[in-house]
Structure 1
Amino acid sequence: MPRIARCYLVWISLFGCIGCALVSASAQVLTMESAIDASFAQYPTLAARRSALEAIRANAQVVRDNRLPNVRVHDQINVGTANGLSGSYFSLGLIVPTSGGRRPGNYGDLASGNIALASADWEVFNFGRFTAEDQLIRADVGVGEAGLEREQFELRQTVIRTYLDLFWTEQSLFIEERNLARVDTVRRIIGNLVRNGIRPGLDSSLANVAFSRARLAYLRMQEERQRAQVQLATLTGRPVEQIAIDTTFQIEPLLIPVAVSVAVPGHPLLRLQERLVTRQAAEIATIRKSALPRVSLLASAWARGTSLDIENNFGPVASGLGYSRTNYLLGVAATVNLMDFRRAASRTRLQRFRVEEARSQLALAQLQIQNALGIADAQLTVVQTQLAELPLVIRSAQDAYNQRLSLYNNGLETILSLTDALTLLTTVEKEAVQTRMQAVRLRFQRAQATNDFDTFYALFRR
């Protein structure tokens, strides 16, 4: 490489290091794993999932509290008339009952009364409905937990993709930066040759066009980097100006052949479907048990006072404020709605279809994960061969560019040949980034399918 080009690259590298130092002074370098942890700590969707899970767990206590005995205590003091009349009726909650003797006429005399009541009813046996409900609640909690795990899994994928987007944009930006430096070096050389009358002015015009195109490509890549930084800042909850990722990359592990593996049963994408199958099956038992009889214990005690004597004569109003009679009642009640058996049969049949639907979705998810793993393993073999060829291809393109530049300086090559060599070198460098990107994408796809990210993280650890 000519001395001018080397100096130009040194200055660009120096300014790049200064820029990185300034960024590092105001922001901590963000690794892939720390970006994931930051997203897990603050991202709203995970907070919503956690709240929903806690609500499901709290509902279990609500259901248990609903099974406690109903104990009611009541007391009332009344003053009113007491004109009784024989006959039956449906009160419908609109007619206030009156307890008093039958009289030949309607009287306006007042009678007082005092009633105290305590009652309790407790459903003590229902042929396993409580147990079925508990199992359904546990299944709902399991679905909620699996949903949270899946949300974390999917958020991890989003953060990794965004991080890799920024990572590869940084790599591409560096290539555009080097290309801009090379084009500027060639432009300066050609400018000197044209001014000295050694080369025609057309070469200088072509060199200026190439420089402008290289600068535009560099600026476009800067825009792409800014976009990726904004996306990563949104996911991690950090200001954009503090987003500075770790550019460490270990390419050697990509060249090591990977062992064939299968998707693990506890995969987050499968666990949710498995819990849904369990939950839908648990609901069948709950539906069946809900139609069975319910056995309850009943108890009641009450006391009553009245200002009417045994002959139904009106006495002093104050005499009815005490209690003169007490009663209690104990009982066992069995309740069943015969039509519930038919309703339960229909609901059970409907629920069986939902169980089959959940099982089919689980089978589809298993097939998709296994298919993704198989594709990744198959393509990795080809991409690893391409990775092994990259050093030779880049070195050959670099040698071709240096030779064309030397020949051009000696008047043995045209500007078009030099431009072709420069374009070839830049294209090869970009293809190298694309090949590495493809290899990392396949390793990422494999990590997703196996739910094993530690090996993938190792590619970006120091």
Structure 2
Amino acid sequence: MQHLNRYLCIVLLLLMAGNACAQQDIPPLTLKTLLSKIGNTAPSLITDSAGISIKQAQAVETRNNWLPNLKLNYQADIGTNNNTAGPYFGFGIIPSNSRGVRDESNTSATLTNLGIAALDWEVYNFGAYRAQNKVAGSEVQLAQDQFQQSKYQLQTYAIGYYLQLLRLQDYINIQQKNIRRNEEIVRSIRSLAKSGVRPGVDTSITEAELSKARLNNIELENQLKQVQLRLAQMSGLPADRIVPDTTIETKLTASVLLPAISDADTTNHPLINYYKSLLQNSVAQENLVKKQYNPKILLEAAAWGRGSSVDANDHFNNLSSGWGFDRNNYLVGIGISYNLFDIRRRQLKLSSQRAATDYAQKKLNEQKSLLSLGISQANVELNTARERLKEIPNQLKAADAGYRQKLSLYKNGLTDIIDLNAALNILYRAETDYVQARYAFSSALFQKALSGNEVNTVLNLLN
């Protein structure tokens, strides 16, 4: 039984070692690769891409609005031919009955048939077709810029999550160093307690600190996995494969990146382009309102043939004689149509659309202001973070020296566990402050790049 247990333990250790090696063999995922993957597979971008296709199809439909209507109709009817004098409105439900009025009522059945080819074409409407096409084109552009805006926002989120991964990985490394320090202290105290140099209560205090450090490490691991899951949902990559490339931290904090993004390019910024397209679409809609109530020039044409069982002498013949066309006609005409009350309708709708245009213009101005503010804030944060990075090495050096001094004094019985723990906490805080300073600098750097539309410049310099 003991041999079996020993064998199982060996197998378990081998499996754990193999799993650890497999995790270590996972290549780091660069930020540029991650953003490229998100740009191709993000569900929200696929949806926006389908929206572009819809607008493009609608634009093609709009471009064909000028096509005429050519209708072919045929009918065969049995009924009476019994008219009386007097006008009436048809209301679309009173059938036609052509012939003069007879002296007497006659309800004999007749058979007629009628074939018509009718052309109805709005030949010219004083620019309305052109205005419709411009609106359709502006809606396609708006959908495309909305896609780029969504891509930019996803890019922003992805960069933020990636920087969080780097920070959490650094925190985990610091926490593991902290665990090793606490384990070293525990071993020293146990040895000193056995020899009677230190009281046993010191062992309990240090073991509590060690347990706290392990719990903090568990929580950090959980946070890291949560961020990996968010990026996995955005990119379609397995969560355990999203391992940040920690080598870029040194490059991000290098001053060589700053001159490359000193000049912001907000002219073609995705957010600006979207609001520009929104404004242009509203202006196009405004122009369409002006045009769509203009007069319309119409071309009408028709050719038709008729046959009837009633002959020219008003004889009601056999119904079968009503088949076939014995009279043929055609009619061609051109006309103009204009509704005078459209003047008022155009004024009201134009006023409403101009308000929408004014709103779009203000949104564009607001976005430009926000981008400018974002660049200014990023510059301030960059300067502050740079000053932190210059000063923190002094804090780290002093904290490390203080901890080592307190540990040596404690081992020699010259100080107590409280002072040692205080020195350890100061060192731990200095290390986490350094990580936070690097994260703040990197975040400000990318905030400036995002606001200035210079993300690709930074990504190219990181490779």
**TM-score (ref. length: structure 2):** 0.91
Whole-angstrom distance in 1 between the partners of 2:427 and 2:24: 32
Residue of structure 1 in register with 2:349 after alignment: 347
Whole-angstrom distance in 1 between the partners of 2:134 and 2:59: 10
Whole-angstrom distance in 1 between the partners of 2:217 and 2:69: 76
One-letter amino acid of the counterpart of residue 23, structure 2: V
Q: Select the residue among 269, 272, 275 that pairs with 1:273.
A: 275
| 2:299 aligned counterpart, secondary structure | strand
Does structure 1 conserve the Cα–Cα contact (< 8 Å) formed by 2:266 and 2:272?
no
Deviations 1:256-292 (A, max 9, x none): 1734434421111111111111111111211111121
**TM-score (ref. length: structure 1):** 0.91
Does structure 2 conserve the Cα–Cα contact (< 8 Å) formed by 1:73 and 1:117?
yes
Residue of structure 2 in register with 1:80 after alignment: 79
Q: 1:315 to 1:252 in 2, by over 3 A?
A: closer
Residue of structure 2 in register with 1:245 after alignment: 244
One-letter amino acid of the counterpart of residue 191, structure 1: R
Whole-angstrom distance in 2 between the partners of 1:310 and 1:290: 48
Whole-angstrom distance in 1 between the partners of 2:432 and 2:20: 23
One-letter amino acid of the counterpart of residue 118, structure 2: S
**Which one is further off, 345-354 or 279-288?**
345-354
1:333-344 alignment, distance < 5 Å: 333-344=335-346
Whole-angstrom distance in 2 between the partners of 1:29 and 1:384: 27
Does structure 1 conserve the Cα–Cα contact (< 8 Å) formed by 2:232 and 2:242?
yes
Does structure 1 conserve the Cα–Cα contact (< 8 Å) formed by 2:119 and 2:300?
yes
RMSD: 2.2
Whole-angstrom distance in 1 between the partners of 2:344 and 2:107: 55
One-letter amino acid of the counterpart of residue 422, structure 1: L
Q: Which structure 2 residue ranges, 5 or more long, are not aligned?
A: 1-14
Residue of structure 2 in register with 1:190 after alignment: 189
Q: Select the residue among 422, 425, 430 that pairs with 1:423.
A: 425
Whole-angstrom distance in 1 between the partners of 2:460 and 2:304: 76
Deviations 1:5-60 (A, max 9, x none): xxxxxxxxxx99976631265x6542222222222222222122111111111111
Does structure 2 conserve the Cα–Cα contact (< 8 Å) formed by 1:302 and 1:326?
yes
Does structure 2 conserve the Cα–Cα contact (< 8 Å) formed by 1:262 and 1:370?
no
Whole-angstrom distance in 2 between the partners of 1:410 and 1:74: 111
Does structure 2 conserve the Cα–Cα contact (< 8 Å) formed by 1:248 and 1:460?
no
Deviations 1:82-107 (A, max 9, x none): 22222222222222222345344444
Whole-angstrom distance in 1 between the partners of 2:16 and 2:105: 106
1:1-16 alignment, distance < 5 Å: none
Whole-angstrom distance in 2 between the partners of 1:253 and 1:216: 31
One-letter amino acid of the counterpart of residue 429, structure 1: E
Residue of structure 2 in register with 1:175 after alignment: 174
Does structure 2 conserve the Cα–Cα contact (< 8 Å) formed by 1:78 and 1:114?
yes
Structure 1 position 252, deviation (Å): 4.8
One-letter amino acid of the counterpart of residue 122, structure 2: E
Q: 1:437 to 1:72 in 2, by over 3 A?
A: same
Structure 1 position 326, deviation (Å): 0.7
Does structure 2 conserve the Cα–Cα contact (< 8 Å) formed by 1:250 and 1:459?
no
Structure 1 position 73, deviation (Å): 0.7
Whole-angstrom distance in 1 between the partners of 2:358 and 2:100: 67
Residue of structure 1 in register with 2:442 after alignment: 440
One-letter amino acid of the counterpart of residue 90, structure 2: S
Structure 1 position 430, deviation (Å): 0.3
Question: What is the percentage of aligned positions where both structures have the same residue?
Answer: 28
**Which one is further off, 386-395 or 99-108?**
99-108
Does structure 2 conserve the Cα–Cα contact (< 8 Å) formed by 1:124 and 1:296?
yes
Structure 1 position 384, deviation (Å): 1.1
Q: 1:458 to 1:128 in 2, by over 3 A?
A: closer
One-letter amino acid of the counterpart of residue 343, structure 1: R
Whole-angstrom distance in 2 between the partners of 1:379 and 1:439: 7
Q: 1:328 to 1:45 in 2, by over 3 A?
A: same
One-letter amino acid of the counterpart of residue 375, structure 1: Q
**Which one is further off, 123-132 or 389-398?**
389-398
Structure 1 position 219, deviation (Å): 1.5
May I ask how many residue pairs the two structures share in their alignment?
Answer: 446
Residue of structure 1 in register with 2:42 after alignment: 43
Deviations 1:376-402 (A, max 9, x none): 112212221221233333233222222
Residue of structure 2 in register with 1:361 after alignment: 363
Does structure 1 conserve the Cα–Cα contact (< 8 Å) formed by 2:65 and 2:129?
no
Q: Select the residue among 385, 407, 410 that pairs with 1:408.
A: 410
Residue of structure 2 in register with 1:299 after alignment: 301
Residue of structure 2 in register with 1:6 after alignment: none
Whole-angstrom distance in 1 between the partners of 2:299 and 2:398: 92
Whole-angstrom distance in 1 between the partners of 2:359 and 2:95: 54
**Which one is further off, 412-421 or 443-452?**
412-421
Whole-angstrom distance in 1 between the partners of 2:457 and 2:300: 65
| 1:298 aligned counterpart, secondary structure | strand
Whole-angstrom distance in 2 between the partners of 1:67 and 1:454: 44
Structure 1 position 318, deviation (Å): 1.6
Q: 1:253 to 1:48 in 2, by over 3 A?
A: closer
Q: Which structure 1 residue ranges, 5 or more long, are not aligned?
A: 1-14
Does structure 2 conserve the Cα–Cα contact (< 8 Å) formed by 1:150 and 1:272?
yes
One-letter amino acid of the counterpart of residue 378, structure 1: V
**Which one is further off, 62-71 or 407-416?**
407-416
